[in-house]
Amino acid sequence: MAYQITLIPGDGIGPEVSGAARRILDATGIAFEWDVQDAGMTALEKHGDVLPDAVIASIRSNGLALKGPLTTPIGGGFRSVNVALRHALELYANLRPARTFTGVQSTFQDIDLIVVRENMEDLYAGIEFESGTEPAHEIIGHINRLSARPVSESSAISIKTITPENSRRIVRFAFDYAARNGRKLVTAVHKANIMKFTDGLFLKVAQEVAQEFPSIEFNDRIVDNMCMQLMQKPDLYDVLVMPNLYGDILSDLTAGMVGGLGVAPSANIGERGAVFEAIHGSAPSHAGKNEADPTAMVLSGVMMLRHLNETQAADAVEHAVAEVIAEGDRVTYDLRADRDRSKAATTTEMTDAIIAKLHR
Ligand code: NAD
């Protein structure tokens, strides 16, 4: 039986890189039926909506999606399609592995870190009140009645919410992931020394959940110290779990440690569905030129194979990608040591090289 997968080609370089991932996944010999759906600018032009209901319905029904990057139109009151999608499907866990591939230019070597980011709450949930507006004044009035520390009347307000339920769910996800993937250590990242009630709650729940997994080591780090530690001794860390905003920032840091956006995959996972996507955006300046790096999208496909327990195929694709990158002569310009565009492979040529390795 073929796996039914929603495929969102995406905007900008999206169709090229998701097309590459589709070709490579099909080349594994596993049967996929791709339910192609438009979102983002493509959907806005065709259907007048950046996130048509049909997209959500398709992912709900298939339970799995491979998604190209989407352009969020600036202005016009458009919501971020990515955030809307995560909320609509309650994809509460954002999983971002950062692993060194030999041949990718990077300051760090031998990095193998997993960032698990809570996706639903924290400052990132977007509950905000604009400076000088009536709702902001009302909130400030409440705060000044309740809090010993007054808030200036001219303040803009962002609300940070952390719940025990969502904290428990994400920390359990991190420990489950560690247990299933032979990982030894989970580190909770927070700022509980300053945000005692929100991050303090996250940390307390993390410590409780750690008791449920005695075979996995647990520790915690304050987020600023975590950043410094990652620069100085990244080998001491393994799986990192944290609230939404720290996860947003730290996962770009770890992506930078392994060579940047071109090689950084991710998964958004919920109880009833999962969406696999590259971390990078639609890079409009590269669109339609057959020059975008397909690696991040292909590695997102590898994460989907692992999610489906198709471990052999996942290993085969990952090895094929690693070999092509290590050989270095059939890679896109961003992966070339000399950055020489005249000698770089096109997206199609790099994809062909990966498929050739699979067929060996
Ligand atoms: P971006 O990731 O699209 O591009 C930043 C730079 O990174 C590009 O100029 C390019 O040089 C490089 N780059 C990224 N991916 C590459 C690839 N596969 N191959 C080669 N080079 C690559 O970020 P941006 O310019 O800030 O955003 C462009 C659009 O993408 C925006 O509309 C933004 O909202 C959207 N976006 C979407 C997602 C998503 O769908 N998950 C994520 C981030 C940004």
Q: Mind listing the pLDDT tens digit for each residue in 14-25?
A: 999 999 999 999
Q: Cα dihedral sign for 286, 322, 234, 339?
A: negative
295 lines ligand 1 (CB under 6 A): no
Mean pLDDT within 98-125: 92
Q: How far apart are CA 338 and CA 359, in angstroms?
A: 29
| From 50, 282, 300, 348, mutation site for ligand 1 pocket: most ligand atoms within 8 A of C-beta | 282
Q: Tell me if 114 sits within 8 A of 96, measured CB to CB.
A: yes
pLDDT tens column, 233-263: 999 999 999 999 999 999 999 999 998 888 9
Residue 240: both structure tokens together? 């990192």
Alpha carbon 92 to its chain centroid, in Å, reads 11
Whether pLDDT at 106 is above 70? yes
Task: Tell me the per-residue pLDDT of 73-105, one tens digit each, with 9 for 90 and over.
Answer: 776 666 678 888 888 999 999 999 999 998 888
124 catalytically annotated: yes
Beta bridge partners of 132: none
Residues 185, 191, 192, CA angle at the centre, nearest 5°? 90
Could you tell me which residues come within 8 angstroms of residue 212 by beta carbon, excluding any fewer than 6 positions away? 172, 175
Q: What is the mean pLDDT of residues 43-48?
A: 90
The secondary structure of 150-171 as a DSSP string is ---TT--EE-----HHHHHHHH
Q: Which of 92, 124, 237, 333 is catalytic?
A: 124
* pLDDT attached to residue 338: 83
What is the per-residue pLDDT for 197?
97
pLDDT of res. 339? 82
**Is 224 marked active-site?**
yes
Q: Which of 179, 192, 263, 266 is nearest to 226 (CA)?
A: 192
Residue 78: per-residue pLDDT: 63
For position 299, what pLDDT does the model report?
97
Q: Ligand 1, atom 26: nearest CA belongs to which residue? A: 281
Q: Please compute the mean of the pLDDT values over residues 30-43 and round it to a whole number.
A: 95
The reported pLDDT for the residue numbered 320 is: 97
Nearest CA to ligand 1 atom 44: 281
In this prediction, residue 79 carries a pLDDT of: 64
Q: Can you tell me whether residue 187 is helix, strand or coil?
A: strand
For residues 22 and 9, what is the distance between their CA atoms, to the nearest angstrom?
A: 10
Q: How far apart are CA 262 and CA 198, in angstroms?
A: 34
Q: How confident is the model at residue 129 (pLDDT cuts 50, 70, 90)?
A: very high
CA of 327 to the centre of ligand 1 (A): 26
Tens of pLDDT, residues 158-213: 999 999 999 999 999 999 999 999 999 999 999 999 999 999 999 999 999 999 99
pLDDT digits (tens, 9 = 90+) for 272-291: 899 999 999 999 999 999 99
> How many other CB atoms are there within 10 angstroms of residue 315's CB atom?
13
Q: Supply the mean pLDDT for the chain.
A: 94
Does 355 contact ligand 1 (Cβ within 6 A)?
A: no
Residue 73's pLDDT is: 73
